Amino acid sequence: MPLLRKTNWLFLTLLVGLGVGMLGGHPVFAAGGEKPQKIDYPDYPPAPARQDRAEAAKKSDGCESCHTATDAATMHRNPAVVIGCADCHGGDATVFKPDGSHQGDTQYFAAQERAHVRPTLPLTWHYPDSANPEGSFTLLNAEASEYVRFVNPSDYRIAHLACGNCHAEIIAKAKR
């Protein structure tokens, strides 16, 4: 009987060690080797409770020069909602796609760099590729709030900035 217990203990230890070894390449640990870059983000003000359509358009025009297909311009079904892309996501909506440029061009990339909010862990995010790595929710825990807002304005850590002036009560209830 003691031999069987010892064998079980060895098997369990081996199994746990194997499991931890397999997790070593998992995105949860992926950022462990990359040091966050120090980025001086500009001030991205909270989305306003009210504005006219011209003000909102200024906060979307540059974005829409590249991002041409969307289900709803404001990401809201209600056409009475008047907000621009940068109101929720941050970033610089005054930057336009250079005439004649295409994704992959040097000019296009330079404009993207000025318009988008950059991650502090670019290698982990495979930046500038926009495909999220596996486990991106966990990676967002290690990111700057400015980047979190850019990729997911409804994230409860920053929703007060992107959505709070209109949805403060809902955000407060959801955070509880």
> What local confidence, expressed as pLDDT, does residue 79 receive?
78
Contacts of range 37-40, beta carbons closer than 8 Å, 24 or more positions apart: 37/118, 37/120, 37/121, 37/122, 38/120, 39/118, 39/120, 39/144, 39/146
Query: For 42-57, what is the mean pLDDT?
Result: 93
At residue 9, does pLDDT exceed 70? Answer: no
165 touches 49 (CB < 8 A): yes
Quote the tokens at residue 163.
């959505």
* Segment 90-132, tens digit of pLDDT: 999 999 999 999 998 999 999 999 999 999 999 999 988 878 8
Q: Which residues contact 68 (CB under 8 A, 6 or more apart)?
A: none
At residue 149, does pLDDT exceed 80? Answer: yes
- Give the confidence band of 42 by pLDDT, cuts at 50, 70, 90: very high
* Segment 151-170, tens digit of pLDDT: 999 999 999 999 988 899 99
What's the alpha-carbon Rg for the chain, to the nearest Å? 22
* Segment 53-92, tens digit of pLDDT: 999 999 999 999 998 887 677 777 777 888 999 999 999 9
Domain residue spans in the chain?
1-33, 35-175
